[in-house]
A and B are shown apart, each in its own frame.
Chain A
Amino acid sequence: MEFLSYFGGVFEPIAFMLLLGGTIGGLILGATPGLSPTMAVALLIPFTFQLSPTQGLILLGAAYTSTVAGGAVSAILLKIPGAPANIATALDGHEMAKNGEGARALHLSFMSSGIGGITGVLLLIFLTPVLAQWALAFGPSHLFWLAILGVTVIGSLDSKSFVKGLLSGCIGLWLSMIGYDDIQGAQRFIFHDALTGGIHIIAALIGIFAIPQVLDMFAKGRRKVAIETVEVPEHAIGDSVREVARSARPLTIGTVIGSIVGLIPGIGGQIAGLVAYDQSKKFSPNKAKFGTGHPEGLIAAESANNAMVGPSLVPLLTLSIPGSPTAAVLLGGLLIHGIFPGSDIFERNPEVIWTFINSMLIGQILMVIFGIAIAKWAAKIARAPLPIMASAVLVLSLFGSYSVQQSMGDVWIMLSLGLGMYFLEKFGFSAAPVVLGLILGPIAESNFVQGSMIAGAMYDGVWAKATYFMTGSLNIGLIVLVILSVGYSFMSHRANSKSPASDAGARA
């Protein structure tokens, strides 16, 4: 309970102002297409130079929590996920916004973020020593199987056809290999100069999600119906609170998955939301409603991607190993102020670290309050007339994809992937598996290559790789999960295709 005695530090005037500013600023930055939480936190680092270590960390911590939640705003309203963490949010959240339930979607998303986030930070407070060992248990072979497990999720994710889901995943995996190979430095599939740097995930996200949407809006043509004058219904906060309270299942799934996945260095936050979305779908009695504006998936995804924030700091604070790209930037922020992570960090710098962690708790609450405050107005954006919406999303896509690395190459990649995705979607392929393949490809590959090299040194003979990758309880457990996951999605697709409703339920 040591942390309770440091709550005073959070409420000192300057510290609290920074917390407020960091939260509001983080929400804005997070909601800006093309600015991932990583870049947002990196942008704030120079501001912390002028501050004391505690103040600086409060600012960065507040920004970290609120940028992740802010990404949900553009995912829901514009269907442009701000970061990989928000992909799953866009799937159902944007449908809700289009149905006029934008305010509800934003309420639910901020509340479940807050609940997931607070749970994650509490885990960080109470279980750090135990969890740190856990994070280290994952070596190359386990990370490889985890990535494969993520790939098998593809078969069932937002896809109406089993083979097309898998095929979309393969397209994503192939796209992830374009550019310089990260380990050998060899050039692969570079058929245009713009591709030498590979496909940047943020630029890809913008293209794959935003451009098909723009074209769909064009397709509605210059018709009177294109102007939709439906009033955005006010959504009472009380209703949202009650709805969240009733959604114990997706909340639990999201929080548990987010906390566990967040711990694993290198995979963490990128896939927490997608995995939680997929699992809550599998356990839900309303499977068919997913993808049509069903709040369960949204709640699971948002609770997962904020639950991962706390645990992702465990390996960072105790072992100096950043669990996510954003945590890597935070590490820089710590070092600049002379705070060296280590297992004794809580003894060496108690007031800095505890104030930092406490501020993340308070930050979560502030984020929920501000999020709900803006929801009413922000939701109107999604109801703007289609011609304005289409032009605005297009301009934002250009600026967003350019500002990732200030490169026109990224803009062209964004556009090409977007046009390609539009046609793929018209023939029953879906975007989420492509993106999942794009994210997991490099993780699977680098761990496969590293594992193979280590296997060669550890064991002799032709079975060296098999021994390394297939023995040990953690490996076997993960392999069993992979087999179960594939089997499950195959069986459920078979069951679906027998019922006549499956094709009728195809996305219109």
Chain B
Amino acid sequence: MKTMLKTLGLSLAAATMALAIPASAEDYPSRPIGVAVSYGAGGATDFQARIVTMVAGNEDMLGQPMYILNKPGAGGRVGWNWFAEEAEADGYMLSAYNVPHFIAQSIKGGVKYSADSFEPIANWGADPAVVVVGKDSPYDTIEEMVDFAKENPGKVTLSGAGLFVGHHIAALQIQKATGAKFVYIPTKGGGAAAMKAVIAGDVVGGINNLSDAFRAAEAGNVKILAVADLERNDFLPDVPTLKEAGYDVDNASVNFRGLMVPKGTPQDVIDVLAAKVPGMFEHARVTKRMKAGGSPLHVMNREEVQAMWAKRQETLSELLEGL
């Protein structure tokens, strides 16, 4: 039996030797590339990641398909912890990032990553946070809601997709800018669960993604009171920004989505990806699908993302100080 096993092992080894040779950078990529998404299948990040990676296999793009790997849990901490600690830094495992989420979490602590653990490749989307209320809510403008909250501190509940994600950052900024006390209710199950709480009237209002809120408003289920961005959004030309409403809230809560690799990935691999990926995001088929799904596309190259990360790191450190 021993000899048989040996023979079996050897023949298998011989048959598969070709597959086991590590890939060098010149022929990168020589096999499919994984993209780890730190949220569940069906969430906004997951479904956008599936769209923007769909042309990766084209000959003029990377020439190898990208597949999505969901590692959900604890607002993204599980997936990014895994990516920072366990993923091979060989260019065959990428991850989707969500800023400000992972930067805010790393500032807050208790995770194994920081902005320095990753190398950005490119950014595909920017989804601002908006303030929404149910369709039967007494509030029609952000001022009415803020005034009520000032008179009744701790009575206005706002749902959002978790702690130290874009929605929470927006709530903290609104609280800081208005001086009113809100009660932020983190929901489990992402933006969809937070939106359900608003529509069903479980909470007074909510902070949610512009793309999801836009659709809910179109369907007549919610009213959108304000956008937490520097300028009005093309999807919602009639909704004021919080700045216009007189509250000093910038775009720190805008949810930027893009791709990154772990630190330690060979520089030439990063160069290949940084050169090809932005073009992939701008492919006609990708833009068409993103537009159809109501997801704002915002392509940024590696240098721009590096600058954006650094800026967020600074703003968020300041905001989260003493919390």
Contacts and interface: CB of A to CB of B under 8 A. Distances in A.
Interface of A: 38-39, 42, 45-46, 49, 136-140, 179-187, 193, 196-198, 265-266, 315, 319-322, 325-332, 335-338, 340-345, 405-407, 442, 446, 450, 453-454, 456-458
B188 A182 contact: yes
A498 B187 CA distance: 47
B203 interface: yes
Contacts of A340: 215, 218-219, 294
A274 B259 CA distance: 40
B189 interface: yes
A337 B220 CA distance: 20
Contacts of B289: 49, 336
Given A185-B164, A186-B110, A38 B292 contact: no
Contacts of B183: 453-454, 456-457
A405 B199 contact: no
A458 B189 CA distance: 23
Nearest to A338: B292
Given A265-B193, A322-B42, 12 more contacts: A42-B41, A42-B68, A140-B202, A179-B73, A180-B77, A183-B163, A185-B77, A266-B193, A336-B51, A405-B69, A453-B157, A453-B185
Q: Is the interface of B mostly helix, strand, loop or mixed?
A: mixed
A442 B219 contact: no
B154 A342 contact: no
Given A185-B110, A185-B163, A457-B157, A325 B40 contact: yes
A329 B41 contact: yes
A320 B195 contact: yes
Contacts of B86: 407
A174 to B, nearest CB: 17
Nearest to B196: A321
A23 B133 CA distance: 41
Contacts of A342: 215, 218-221
A315 B157 CA distance: 23
Contact of B105 (A181, A185, A322): A185
B74 interface: yes
Contact of B221 (A265, A319, A454): A319
15 contacts: A38-B41, A45-B50, A182-B162, A187-B110, A319-B221, A335-B292, A336-B51, A340-B215, A341-B215, A344-B220, A345-B219, A446-B189, A450-B185, A456-B183, A457-B183
A183 to B, nearest CB: 5
A478 B192 CA distance: 25
Which 6 A-B residue pairs are closest in the complex by CB-CB distance? A342-B219, A328-B42, A180-B74, A332-B47, A338-B292, A446-B188
B298 interface: no
Nearest to A345: B219
Given A139-B202, A183-B188, A450-B187, A325 B42 contact: yes
Contacts of B75: 182, 185
B42 A331 contact: yes
A340 B40 CA distance: 20
Contacts of A336: 47, 51, 289, 292-293
A139 B200 contact: yes
A406 B42 contact: no
A446 B70 CA distance: 21
A487 B202 CA distance: 31
Contact of A319 (B77, B193, B199): B199
A424 to B, nearest CB: 26
Contacts of A196: 78, 81-82
B251 to A, nearest CB: 24
A456 B47 CA distance: 35
Nearest to A339: B292
Contact of A198 (B73, B187, B292, B294): B73
Contact of B155 (A179, A446, A457): A457
A320 B156 contact: no
A332 B50 contact: yes
Contacts of A39: 41, 70
B293 A454 contact: no
B229 interface: no
Interface of B: 34, 40-43, 46-47, 50-51, 54, 68-71, 73-75, 77-79, 81-82, 85-86, 105, 108, 110, 154-157, 162-164, 183, 185-189, 192-193, 195-197, 199-203, 212, 215-216, 218-221, 285, 289, 292-295
Given A140-B202, A344-B219, A335 B294 contact: yes
A193 B85 CA distance: 10
A265 B42 CA distance: 15
Contacts of A197: 71, 73, 78-79, 81-82
B156 to A, nearest CB: 7
A454 B202 contact: yes
A39 B156 CA distance: 38
A320 B41 CA distance: 16
Contacts of B199: 136, 319, 321
A344 B74 CA distance: 35
B157 to A, nearest CB: 5
A193 B81 CA distance: 10
Contacts of A456: 154, 183
Contacts of A265: 193, 196
Contacts of B46: 42, 332
A179 B289 CA distance: 36
A478 to B, nearest CB: 16
B300 to A, nearest CB: 23
A70 B175 CA distance: 50
Which of A138, A336, A341, A456 neighbours the largest number of chain B CB atoms within 10 Å of its CB? Answer: A336
A387 to B, nearest CB: 15
Contacts of A193: 85
Nearest to B65: A46
Nearest to A316: B192
Given A320-B212, A320-B215, A453-B157, A332 B42 contact: yes
Contacts of B197: 139-140, 450
Contacts of A183: 162-163, 186, 188
Contacts of A328: 40-43, 192
A407 B216 CA distance: 36
A448 B42 CA distance: 25
A327 B215 CA distance: 17
Contacts of B163: 183-185
B221 A320 contact: yes
A196 B216 CA distance: 35
Contacts of B74: 179-182, 185, 198
Q: Which of B74, B186, B187, B216 has the most CB of A within 10 A?
A: B74
Give the one of B192, B289, B294 with max A CB within 10 A: B192
A197 B72 CA distance: 8
A456 B203 CA distance: 12
Given A42-B41, A183-B163, A343 B219 contact: yes
A325 B41 contact: yes
Nearest to A42: B41
Contact of A329 (B42, B54, B78, B295): B42
A266 B194 CA distance: 12
Contacts of A181: 74
Contacts of A187: 110
Contacts of A405: 69-71
A49 B284 CA distance: 13
Nearest to A327: B42
